């Protein structure tokens, strides 16, 4: 393990452009379990009589807004995950010029809250909400604390969280920026997810750099495509690199 960490340190020190893809394993460091987790999905379906794949959709938001926001506020806005050790380590890498961009699919801005500045939140953010009628922006707290369905103070229009709901296309600008950063990378770090993940698999094919590095907890059949694989929690590895 120490040999692999030394190898990773050398790769990062020599790289002129490093990009990190942060998967669900990073969010789970903060104790947050995603909606697609089998056990959590089962509990949600028992509670709401619909699965998260049904509720967390634009159709449900449009046709059953009361129940959508009941679910959204309870399941996604209560107990927000905070910064993680991995996030702090990535912020230290950015400060030392060893990380140029962080790309994440979680919707909680964990990268920014850990101190990273160059972050693409591919699936949006719970901290950004907008009136669909007049475009007025609202905070996460406004949505969370609203009684029932949050509506615009100015025009009474419906407020929509700026997150990608299940089945929706990712914002085209964010997709383009993600592809651009991956194409620019000499080193691509894949953290807390796999090379053929549902979220990142189609983007990783744009990588044509020197080193593809995977750090995650469990071995996976796609690991053989990487130049370096470390089976461990990302925080355990990143914190040993020594960046301050």
Q: Among the options 117, 123, 133, 221, which is catalytic? A: 123
Nearest in space to 189 (alpha carbons), one of 102, 87, 105: 102
Cross-strand bridge partners of residue 103: 21, 120
- Alpha carbon 24 to its chain centroid, in Å, reads 7
In the chain, the largest separation of any two C-alpha atoms, in whole Å, equals 61
Query: Do the Cβ atoms of 194 and 225 come closer than 8 Å?
Result: no
Residue closest to 215 by CA, chosen among 229, 200, 235: 229
CB 140 within 8 A of CB 90: no
Per the listing, tokens 């699965």 go with 51
- The pair of three-digit structure tokens given for residue 109, joined into one six-digit string: 């801005």
Q: Computed over its alpha carbons, how large is the radius of gyration of the chain?
A: 19
123 is catalytic: yes
First to last CA, the chain: 21
Cα separation of 184 and 178, whole Å? 10
Where in the sequence numbering do the catalytic residues fall?
A: 123
């Amino acid at each position: 393990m120490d040999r692999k960490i030394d190898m990773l340190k050398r790769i990062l020190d020599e790289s002129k452009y490093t990009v990190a893809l942060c998967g669900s394993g990073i969010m789970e460091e903060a104790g947050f379990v995603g909606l697609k987790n089998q056990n959590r999905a089962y509990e949600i379906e028992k509670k709401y009589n619909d699965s998260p794949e049904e509720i967390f959709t634009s159709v449900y938001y449009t046709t059953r807004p009361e129940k959508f926001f009941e679910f959204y506020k309870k399941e996604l806005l209560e107990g927000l995950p905070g910064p993680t050790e991995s996030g702090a380590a990535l912020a230290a890498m950015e400060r030392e010029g060893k990380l140029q961009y962080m790309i994440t699919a979680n919707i909680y801005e964990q990268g920014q809250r850990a101190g990273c500045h160059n972050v693409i939140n591919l699936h949006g953010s719970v901290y950004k909400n907008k009136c669909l009628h007049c475009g007025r922006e609202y905070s996460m707290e406004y949505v969370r604390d609203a009684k029932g369905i949050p509506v615009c103070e100015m025009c009474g229009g419906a407020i929509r969280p700026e997150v990608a709901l299940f089945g929706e296309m990712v914002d085209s600008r964010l997709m383009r920026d993600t592809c651009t950063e991956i194409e620019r990378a000499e080193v691509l770090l894949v953290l807390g997810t796999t090379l053929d993940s549902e979220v990142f698999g189609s983007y990783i094919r744009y990588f044509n750099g020197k080193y593809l590095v995977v750090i995650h907890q469990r071995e996976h059949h796609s690991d053989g495509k990487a130049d370096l694989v470390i089976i461990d929690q990302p925080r355990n590895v990143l914190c040993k690199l020594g960046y301050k």
